[in-house]
Amino acid sequence: MQLRDRIAVVTGAGSGIGRAISHRFAEAGATVIAADLDPQAAEATALLAPDRILPYQVDVRAETSVRALMDSVLARFGRIDILVNNAGIGTTKDIVETELEEWEQVFAVNVRGVFLCCKYALPSMLARRSGVIINIGSVAGLIGIPKRAAYCASKGAVVTLTKQIAIAYVKDGIRCNCICPGTVDTPWVERLVAREPDPLAARRALEARQPMGRLVRPEEVAAAALYLASDEAAAVTGSILVVDGGWLAQ
């Protein structure tokens, strides 16, 4: 029970990686606030461990919504021990094809969302001189990938913001780290390949991109998050933990 009695907020908890992290944290003894734009998805995640996972609807793009989330967690539990900024969206375009509106939307969720969640969770962490933030970046935040202009740029921002938070609050008992997954087998990737003319071939291509020849499982990202959230990682801050089946090792 590495996270016994910890209070954890996970955004984008209704699907894929966020759901796996919520489940793993609950198994490790945490109480998890599973926050998602889609309330039914958050509720489905909560069903995995009804005693420990509480569903919550949030739009990480909206300041009032994020503030209400953090305020209600603090009102009920008195603290936020762990914040996982996992909510994210993507696009599959290069610069020229990307409409300004689409660019802004990707940044609104992937970057503004991380900023707002940190802004409204950090004061209570600072007051207690204790807190862990885990941002879900991506391999796309570390290298250029064709057809991912807005996504790469937004995840690059998440990687750098992680280091800035880590260094800004290193003397205040706060740790902030980033997990950069490769391609993970989630509904997101199912939607991506379903749009291709030959979905099976598209999936095989994504698998082949990673030297292990397979997609990462959401549970494998959750295991990395559990480590970073736990006291085992007490000396780890500002780090980028790549979970990518060897993609970046080539």
Ligand X SMILES: NC(=O)c1ccc[n+]([C@@H]2O[C@H](COP(=O)([O-])OP(=O)(O)OC[C@H]3O[C@@H](n4cnc5c(N)ncnc54)[C@H](O)[C@@H]3O)[C@@H](O)[C@H]2O)c1
- Residues with active-site annotation: 151
Residue 131: closest CA among 143, 123, 142:
123
Task: With contacts defined by CB under 6 A, name the span among 33-41, 95-103, 126-134, 194-202 that binds ligand X.
Answer: 33-41
- Under the binding rule (CB under 6 A), the answer on residue 31 touching ligand X is no
Task: With contacts defined by CB under 6 A, name the span among 22-30, 31-39, 92-100, 114-122 that binds ligand X.
Answer: 31-39
| Distances 157 to 19, 160, 178 between C-alpha atoms, Å | 24, 5, 11
- 143: Cβ contacts below 8 Å, ≥ 6 apart: 152, 248
Burial class (CB in 10 A: 0-12, 13-18, 19+), 40: exposed
- Under the binding rule (CB under 6 A), the answer on residue 43 touching ligand X is no
Q: Which residues pair with 242 in a beta bridge?
A: 180
Give the whole-angstrom CA distance, residue 66 versus residue 121: 9
- Under the binding rule (CB under 6 A), the answer on residue 41 touching ligand X is yes
- Under the binding rule (CB under 6 A), the answer on residue 187 touching ligand X is yes
- In DSSP notation, 21-62 reads HHHHHHHTT-EEEEEESSHHHHHHHHTTSTTTEEEEE--TT-
- Under the binding rule (CB under 6 A), the answer on residue 153 touching ligand X is no
- Under the binding rule (CB under 6 A), the answer on residue 58 touching ligand X is yes
- Under the binding rule (CB under 6 A), the answer on residue 18 touching ligand X is yes
- In DSSP notation, 51-94 reads TTEEEEE--TT-HHHHHHHHHHHHHHHS---EEEE---------
Question: Nearest approach, Cβ of 147 to ligand X (angstroms)?
Answer: 14
Residues 126 to 145 in contact with ligand X, rule: CB under 6 A: 136, 138
Say if residues 221 and 17 touch (Cβ distance below 8 Å). yes
- Under the binding rule (CB under 6 A), the answer on residue 11 touching ligand X is yes
Residues 191 to 250 in contact with ligand X, rule: CB under 6 A: none
- Under the binding rule (CB under 6 A), the answer on residue 186 touching ligand X is yes
123 alpha carbon, distance to own chain's centre: 20
- Under the binding rule (CB under 6 A), the answer on residue 61 touching ligand X is yes
Question: Which one of 9, 46, 73, 89 is in contact with ligand X (CB under 6 A)?
Answer: 89
Task: With contacts defined by CB under 6 A, name the span among 26-34, 67-75, 169-177, 182-190 that binds ligand X.
Answer: 182-190
- Under the binding rule (CB under 6 A), the answer on residue 109 touching ligand X is yes
Closer of 88 and 156 to ligand X (Cβ): 88
Binding site for ligand X (CB under 6 A): 11-12, 14-18, 36-38, 41, 58-61, 86-89, 109, 136, 138, 181, 183-184, 186-189
